[in-house]
């Protein structure tokens, strides 16, 4: 084992989500974009090229708006034969200048245009749960929570209540209108005319600090309610690159605009005549089900030690449901007919795996490397450098001599001894008694198989 593996053996920080493809074998955001169906891939790539947005922001905002447009046209067959909506609940967390606003506004633009003339309120931002439910019950059956900067939505004030209303969000995720409570009992007209189903998509962009504060306070409750497993999240630490801007003409994005307008026009007609719970259903044939079933088994393994076996199964089942929805969204956007193809489901499983890797990285952030481990790594590196200089196959030093070097590292003798203990405990070195010149000495020896090839 090489010294480079010292940190990982001690449970050191995982790589950031953007490096998951090389660090953990899961697709990174750029790989998920490459996996998109052709029209969506071209739109996402052009957004990146022209506006420079980070890939995570592109995926979240693209799927948020495609989900809104597709959900009013079709549903998709679930694993138990029941139909589920194509609605997605998404959140992107990124630093300032990561492209949140540019990406949100660009992908949202054709939706705003297509929804002009819709008589009911459809676009919400920092809305309270009571107001949202009142609007939906009064006929806002095609609606979206969409924000370029969702600090208030994730805050502790009244405007942040909806982000913590997990039962209501669970119902809306499944297109169910939450049941009326006592406060509504005296409104006979509302009780009589309230729809039983509605389309409700969420696409929230927020800065990393507010996202982290929300998770620190509410992740346990959100997980216990089941909503956290339904929420697709991505987090980025990079800022946007400099895009081509006006130097490159939009082509694929204009095609995206046209398709979104077409889908929403159709959705408006559908929902004026048909409840959301009665929309036509896209079937998933056995060969596509097999692809998803195999992916779900991989999903179970992804949480590793982070989740119990029962919670890991919940994680996998909810992710598989989102995978169906992602596949259905791409199927509808690409004008595909008939059941979901194996190709589309395969693409969806890769994209969902990318989402899940980000979900795990943001829900279970890496812990800081302990000081003792950092000192152990520094000492191990120094010893290997000394070994290279000496050319000895089994390099060794008197333990007392190594401890004497502590001030050169800026450490106390106690800290140097702790570093020695760390590398010995990790199996990279050992402290052993030896006889030299007839005298017994205590030596620190690097274990041969941990020494890199010179």
Q: What is the pLDDT of residues 35-94, one digit of tens each?
A: 999 999 999 999 999 999 999 999 999 999 999 999 999 999 999 999 999 999 999 999
Query: What pLDDT does residue 396 have?
Result: 86
CA dist 270 and 73 (Å) reads: 7
Is 185 a member of any domain? yes
Query: What pLDDT does residue 5 have?
Result: 45
Q: Are residue 120 and residue 33 in the same domain, yes or no?
A: yes
Is 5 a member of any domain? no
382 lies in which domain range?
371-450
Query: What pLDDT does residue 454 have?
Result: 29
What SS3 state is found at 179? coil
Report percent pLDDT > 90 for the chain.
74
Question: Cα separations (Å) of 385 from 379, 389, 390?
Answer: 10, 6, 9
CA dist 354 and 276 (Å) reads: 29
Examine the fold and report which residue of 345, 363, 381 is the final residue of a domain before the chain moves on. Answer: 363
When pLDDT is cut at 50, 70 and 90, the band that residue 392 belongs to is low
Q: Are residue 425 and residue 347 in the same domain, yes or no?
A: no
- Asked if residue 451 has pLDDT above 80, the reply is no
Residue pLDDT, tens place only, 218-263: 999 999 999 999 999 999 999 999 999 989 999 999 999 999 999 9
- Asked if residue 11 has pLDDT above 70, the reply is no
What's the CA angle centered on 65, arms 63 and 67, to 5 degrees?
A: 65
Q: Are residue 193 and residue 66 in the same domain, yes or no?
A: yes
Helix (H) or strand (E) holding 314: helix 309-333
| Strand 396-398, strand 439-446: pairing | antiparallel
When pLDDT is cut at 50, 70 and 90, the band that residue 18 belongs to is very low
- Asked if residue 20 has pLDDT above 60, the reply is no
Give backbone dihedrals phi and psi of 281, rounded to 5 degrees, phi first.
-115, 135
Q: Are residue 238 and residue 288 in the same domain, yes or no?
A: yes
Is 11 a member of any domain? no
- The CATH code of the domain that includes 426 is 1.10.10
What mean pLDDT is predicted for residues 112-124? Answer: 96
CB atoms within 10 A of CB 103: 29
Residue pLDDT, tens place only, 176-206: 999 876 555 556 566 677 899 999 999 999 9
Q: Are residue 185 and residue 235 in the same domain, yes or no?
A: yes
Query: What pLDDT does residue 395 have?
Result: 80
Query: What pLDDT does residue 384 have?
Result: 84
């Amino acid at each position: 084992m090489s010294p480079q593996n010292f940190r990982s053996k001690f449970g050191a920080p995982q790589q950031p989500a953007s490096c998951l493809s090389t660090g953990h074998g899961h697709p990174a955001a750029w790989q998920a974009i490459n996996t998109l169906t052709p029209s969506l891939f071209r739109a996402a790539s052009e957004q990146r090229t022209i506006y420079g947005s980070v890939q995570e922001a592109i995926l979240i905002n693209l799927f948020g708006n495609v989900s809104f447009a597709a959900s009013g046209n079709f549903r998709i067959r679930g694993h138990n034969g029941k139909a589920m909506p194509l609605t997605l609940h998404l959140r992107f967390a990124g630093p300032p200048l990561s492209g949140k606003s540019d990406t949100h506004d660009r992908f949202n633009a054709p939706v705003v245009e297509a929804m002009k003339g819709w008589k009911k309120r459809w676009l919400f931002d920092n809305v309270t749960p009571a107001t949202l439910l009142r609007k939906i019950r009064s006929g806002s059956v095609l609606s979206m929570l969409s924000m370029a900067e969702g600090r208030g939505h994730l805050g502790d004030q009244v405007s942040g209540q909806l982000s913590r209303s997990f039962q209501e969000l669970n119902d809306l995720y499944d297109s169910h209108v939450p049941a009326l409570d006592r406060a509504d009992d005296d409104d006979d007209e509302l009780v009589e005319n309230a729809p039983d189903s509605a389309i409700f998509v969420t696409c929230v962009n927020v800065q990393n600090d507010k996202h982290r504060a929300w998770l620190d306070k509410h992740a346990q409750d959100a997980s216990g309610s089941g909503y956290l497993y339904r929420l697709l999240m991505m987090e980025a630490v990079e800022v946007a690159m400099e895009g081509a801007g006006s130097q490159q003409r939009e082509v694929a994005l204009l095609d995206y605009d046209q398709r979104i307008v077409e889908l929403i026009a159709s959705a408006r007609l559908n929902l004026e005549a048909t409840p959301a719970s009665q929309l036509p259903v896209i079937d998933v044939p056995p060969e596509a089900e097999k692809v998803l079933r195999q992916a779900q088994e991989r999903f179970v393994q992804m949480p590793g030690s982070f989740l119990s076996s029962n919670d890991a199964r919940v994680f996998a089942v909810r992710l598989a449901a989102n995978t169906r929805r992602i596949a259905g969204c791409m199927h509808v956007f690409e004008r595909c007919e008939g059941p979901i193809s194996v190709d589309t489901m395969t693409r969806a499983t890769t994209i969902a795996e990318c989402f899940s890797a980000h979900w795990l990285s943001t829900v279970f952030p890496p812990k800081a490397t302990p000081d003792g481990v950092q000192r152990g790594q520094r000492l191990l590196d120094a010893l290997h450098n000394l070994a290279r200089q000496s050319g000895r196959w089994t390099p060794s030093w008197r333990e007392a001599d190594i401890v004497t070097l502590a001030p050169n590292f800026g450490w106390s003798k106690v800290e140097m001894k702790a570093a020695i203990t760390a590398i010995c405990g990790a199996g990279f070195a050992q402290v052993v008694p030896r006889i030299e010149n007839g005298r017994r000495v205590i030596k620190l020896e690097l274990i041969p198989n941990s020494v890199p090839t010179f």
